[in-house]
């Protein structure tokens, strides 16, 4: 499924088949900062969710953090909930204090949780639909449908694969916040 944008068509290289499907609930998450996020509660409250899976010591995640903070700041009051879900790839990265320190160092200003068992991350297709990156992002509308997928790496205006078309598609969807919310 393609997403139209003013700069042309953009389709993620991986995970496009998830667009339009019901987003799985967040399961097995231990919340380290911010209010715990539930997709059912977000739907109940009429909110959309921008979810990013991230890792400590991930240069793509560090580069993406300012854009996520910007979305949180810019659209939070209009009904967009931004959430970061850390998923450890090593025993060291299971240390929640290490994760908390990394989130603070990256300046994450939104809810941050840890998916130690990868329950949520696997439910979203990491390892099956997504093979190249685990640091993927999803925009979930107020009805609980996945509306946009970024298939990994950096996600911000200045970089990442297919960044101009991808970001234009994302911004176009955010411009429709009335219909997303």
Pick from 26, 47, 39, 24: nearest CA to 113: 26
Tens digit of pLDDT for each residue in 53-109?
999 989 999 999 998 999 899 889 888 999 999 999 999 999 999 999 999 999 999
What integer pLDDT is reported at residue 42 of this predicted model?
A: 94
Which pLDDT does position 168 carry in this prediction? 67
Write the DSSP string, 6-68: TTEEE--SS-GGGTTSBPPPP-SPEEEESS---HHHHHHTT-EEEEEEE-TT-HHHHHHHHHH
Element (H, E) at 74: helix 59-75
**Burial readout 90-115 (b: 16 or more C-beta within 10 A, e: otherwise):** eeebeeeeebbebbeebebbbbbbbb
User: In the structure, what pLDDT confidence band is assigned to residue 167 with cuts at 50, 70 and 90?
Assistant: low
Q: What are phi and psi of 145, to 5 degrees?
A: -95, 140
* pLDDT class of 3 with cuts at 50, 70, 90: very low
The 10s digit of each residue's pLDDT in 117-127 is 999 999 999 99
- pLDDT, one tens digit per residue, over 27-50 is 999 999 989 999 999 999 999 999
**More confident of the two residues 171 and 95:** 95
- Domains in the chain: ranges and CATH: 3-45+55-86+101-180 (3.40.30.10)
């Amino acid at each position: 499924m393609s997403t139209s944008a003013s700069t042309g068509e953009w389709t993620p290289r991986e995970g496009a088949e998830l667009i339009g499907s019901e987003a799985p609930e967040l399961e097995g998450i231990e919340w380290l900062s911010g209010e715990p996020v539930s997709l059912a509660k977000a739907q109940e409250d009429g909110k959309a969710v921008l979810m990013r899976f991230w890792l400590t010591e991930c240069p793509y995640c560090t580069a993406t953090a300012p854009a996520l903070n910007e979305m949180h700041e810019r659209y939070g009051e209009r009904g967009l909930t931004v959430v970061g879900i850390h998923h450890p790839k090593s025993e060291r990265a299971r240390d929640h204090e290490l994760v908390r320190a990394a989130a603070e160092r990256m300046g994450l200003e939104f809810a941050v949780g840890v998916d130690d068992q990868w329950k949520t991350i696997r439910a979203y297709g990491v390892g099956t639909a997504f093979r190249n990156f685990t640091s993927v992002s999803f925009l979930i509308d107020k009805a609980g449908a996945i509306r946009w997928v970024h298939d990994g790496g950096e996600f911000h205006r200045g970089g990442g694969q297919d960044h101009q078309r991808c970001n234009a598609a994302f911004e176009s969807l955010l411009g429709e916040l009335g219909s997303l919310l």
